[in-house]
Amino acid sequence: MPHVADGARIVAAVTLGVVTAVLEAAFLLLSLPFLGNPNVSAGAVRLARLEARRLRLDPALLRLASVPLDVRPAGGRTDDDPTDGGRALRYLAARLPAGVLGGLILVLLVYGAYIGVDLALAWSSGQPYDGMHRSLSLALSTAVVGVVLLFLDLSGLAGVYALERRLARRLLAPDPTEALHRRIAELAESRAGIVAAVDSERRRIERDLHDGLQQRLVALSMLIGRSRRGRPELLDQAHQEAQRALAELREVAWRVYPSGLDSLGLGEALSGVAERSSVPVRVTCDLPERPAMAVETAAYFVVCEAVTNAAKHSGAGLITVDVRRCGTMVVVTVRDDGSGGANASGGGLSGLARRVAALDGRFQVDSPAGGPTTIVAELPCG
């Protein structure tokens, strides 16, 4: 069944490619007098991205991935490179013959199916077809020829699909030197982001210790001192204060790194986040196997920060967390039914974006005014 589904997907992609080839031919003809116009370049880039989506190519592999089709990488560019337009126009022109070839093969496939059905109907009713009367030898030879032609048609469609994918990679992907420069820039940016995220985390821990735990320990010391000066009834209060201090210390330690993540796994650690949340949290963790520790840790902190933000600021009544494996990615989705308006450049969410980018992942925040807020992190694990 998976092979049948793949075959149907290829036929659908080539069929759609024939339609888009006609539209792109019209676009190229109409834009000839206006070559060099930014609007023409922008339109060509959009069409090339749609072709990449049709061919199920990862936009990160292509030169036109400066603004991906689905998820914008944290810290990625927000404008198109001027050379993208010329590259996209050359690609659209080069793929027209492949679109025409795919159309011809589809016409042959449809015509062959029509002939086969017409022949089967004529022979099943005892009528001759094109002067040929039904016989066993003729039926067998016709079936063999039909199967061979069907195989050649389907192979042709698969070949056109492979040709189009190779053409897209060849004309849209960066040259090795350009890709190396881009990768160096991405690594430098992610390294700076990691340093900033670590410094921000340290400041947060210091605030937690100074404003919470340290104050409780000072109060505890004062209570013990007063009890030693003849106020033994304060010992019970000191004991309660010590319990609160221990609880806060565990909370700070858990936020630094959840020890249960190592022993219990991501699902149980996220259940702990749901239990400690003041807002109901529904967790679904569907992973066939445990991912790498770095991926688990990043997924945990994405959920933890997103749940904390939703509980504090959104007024949500329910938070849903979904963690699942999609191909080579672990996709973490946190959604709340609150008021929306989350600021993706805020301290907490920007720190998460840097953490995800450090793993070559992708991070997206969708939070329109009035809600809902959806946070999606894609973490590579393959």
Residue 65: what pLDDT? 43
- 357 sits in the region (left: phi over 0; alpha: psi -120 to 50; else beta) called alpha
Given a cut of 80, is residue 219 above it in pLDDT? Answer: no
77-86, 307-316, 349-358: least confidently modelled range = 77-86
Residue 288 banded pLDDT, cuts 50, 70, 90: confident
Residue 72: what pLDDT? 35
37-51, 115-129, 360-374: least confidently modelled range = 115-129
* 295-353 per-position pLDDT tens digit: 888 888 889 888 888 888 888 889 999 999 988 889 999 999 888 888 777 667 877 88
Hey, what CATH class is 266-380 in?
Answer: alpha beta
Residue 221: what pLDDT? 74
> What does each C-alpha distance from 150 to 12, 136, 146 come to in angstroms?
16, 21, 6
Percent of all residues in the chain with a pLDDT value above 70, rounded to a whole number: 76
Token pair 């319990």: residue: 243
Residue 265: what pLDDT? 83
Given a cut of 70, is residue 89 above it in pLDDT? Answer: yes
Which long-range contacts does 333-337 make (Cβ < 8 Å, 24+ apart)? 333/374, 333/375, 333/376, 334/302, 334/303, 334/306, 334/307, 334/310, 334/374, 334/375, 335/372, 335/373, 335/374, 335/375, 336/279, 336/310, 336/371, 336/372, 336/373, 337/371, 337/372
Residue 73 banded pLDDT, cuts 50, 70, 90: very low
Sheet order of strands, 373-380 included? 281-286, 319-326, 329-336, 373-380, 362-366
Residue ranges of domains in the chain: 2-172, 183-256, 266-380
Nearest by Cα to 40 from 82, 70, 78, 79: 82
Residue 246: what pLDDT? 72
In angstroms, how far apart are the furthest CA atoms of the chain?
121
b or e along 294-332 (b: 16 or more beta carbons within 10 Å of the residue's beta carbon)? ebbbbbbbbbbbbbbbbbebbebeebbbbbeeeeebbbb
Given a cut of 60, is residue 68 above it in pLDDT? Answer: no
**Which segments of the chain are extended strands (E)?**
281-286, 319-326, 329-336, 362-366, 373-380
8-22, 65-79, 213-227: least confidently modelled range = 65-79
Length of the chain: 382
Q: What are phi and psi of 222, to 5 degrees?
A: -65, -40
> Using CB atoms within 10 A of its CB, is residue 227 exposed (0-12), middle (13-18) or buried (19+)?
middle
Residue 228 banded pLDDT, cuts 50, 70, 90: low
Chain centroid to CA 141:
50
Structure tokens of 212?
């919470």
Residue 1: what pLDDT? 56
pTM of the predicted structure, to 2 decimals: 0.49
Secondary structure (DSSP) of 329-354: EEEEEEEE-S-----TTSHHHHHHHH
Mean pLDDT across the stretch 179-190? 71
Which residues, at least 6 apart from 329, have a Cβ–Cβ distance to it below 8 Å? 361, 378, 379, 380, 381, 382
Asked whether 381 and 329 are in contact (CB, 8 A), the reply is yes
* 127-160 per-position pLDDT tens digit: 877 777 777 787 788 889 889 998 999 999 999 9
